[in-house]
A = this chain, B = another copy of it.
Amino acid sequence: MSKKKPLILVTNDDGITAPGIRHLISIMKKIGEVIVVAPDRPQSGMGHAITINDNLYCDPVKLDSSESHEEFSCSGTPADCVKIGTQEILKRKPDLCVSGINHGSNSSINVIYSGTMSAAVEAGTQGIPAIGFSLLDYSLTANFEHTTKFIETITKNVIENGLPKGVVLNVNIPKLSAKEIKGIKVCRQAKANWQEIFDKRKNPQGRDYYWLSGEFINEDSGEDTDEWALEQGYVSVVPVQFDLTAHHVIKDLNDWKLND
Residues of A within 8 A of B (CB): 42, 44-53, 55-59, 79-80, 83-84, 86-88, 109, 111-113, 118, 121, 125-126, 153-154, 157, 161, 164, 166-167, 170, 183-184, 186-189, 191, 193-194, 196-198, 200-201, 207-212, 237-247, 249-250, 252-254, 256-259
Interchain CA distance A50-B198 in the complex, whole Å:
13
Determine whether the beta carbon of A240 is less than 8 Å from that of B250. Answer: no
What's the Cα separation between A44 and B207 when bound, in Å?
Answer: 27
Closest residue of chain B to A242 (Cβ to Cβ) is B112
With both beta carbons as reference points, the residue of chain B lying nearest to A201 in the complex is identified as: B55
Copies of this polypeptide in the complex: 2
- Which residues of B lie under 8 Å from residue A245 when comparing CB positions? 188-189, 238-241
Asked whether A47 lies within 8 Å of B48 as measured between CB atoms, the reply is yes
Given contacts A57-B207, A109-B125, A240-B244, list 7 more A-B pairs with CB under 8 A.
Answer: A47-B47, A88-B210, A111-B244, A112-B242, A125-B194, A157-B256, A166-B191
Which residues of the other chain, B, contact A207 by a CB distance below 8 angstroms?
A: 57, 59
- Is B237 in contact with A253, judged by CB distance below 8 angstroms? yes
Q: Which residue of B lies closest to A76 (CB)?
A: B212
Which residue of B is nearest A193, CB measured? B125
Best-surrounded residue of A48, A51, A161, A241 (most CB of chain B within 10 A) = A48
Among all A-B residue pairs, the 4 with the closest Cβ atoms: A47-B48, A47-B47, A241-B246, A239-B246
Given contacts A186-B250, A250-B188, contact A258 B153 (CB under 8 A): yes
